[in-house]
Amino acid sequence: MNEKPDQEPRHLAPERVAARWWDALLVDLRGRWAAVRRDPDAGYSTETVVVTGLLVVAALIVIAIIIAKVTEAANGISLVGG
């Protein structure tokens, strides 16, 4: 292999990719939290984004449940005469 000993391989194991993603997320959240602590009014827009995101996730869950129920009902319809 042409990689130097102090370099990480180009293709990381999935656990390493997840760990890096998680570390990046934590760094970003810590930075945002520090900004909110410096200026309490600055968190209002962040709070709005979080609440909106949660509502979107809830809506997607409801849509998925409705699709599952409709599909189940449609699969129960018999097209064979009898």
Higher-confidence residue: 74 or 13? 74
Residue 17 identity: V
Give the chain's mean pLDDT: 80
Higher-confidence residue: 82 or 17? 17
Q: Provide the domain count of the chain.
A: 1
Of 8-12, 20-24, 42-46, 74-78, minimum mean pLDDT range: 8-12
Residue 2 falls within a domain, yes or no?
Answer: no
Residue span of the structural domain in which 66 resides: 14-75
pLDDT digits (tens, 9 = 90+) for 40-65: 776 677 788 899 999 999 999 999 99
Report yes or no on whether pTM surpasses 0.85. Answer: no
**pLDDT (average), residues 1-8:** 56
Residue 48 falls within a domain, yes or no?
Answer: yes
Q: How far apart are the first and last CA of the chain?
A: 69
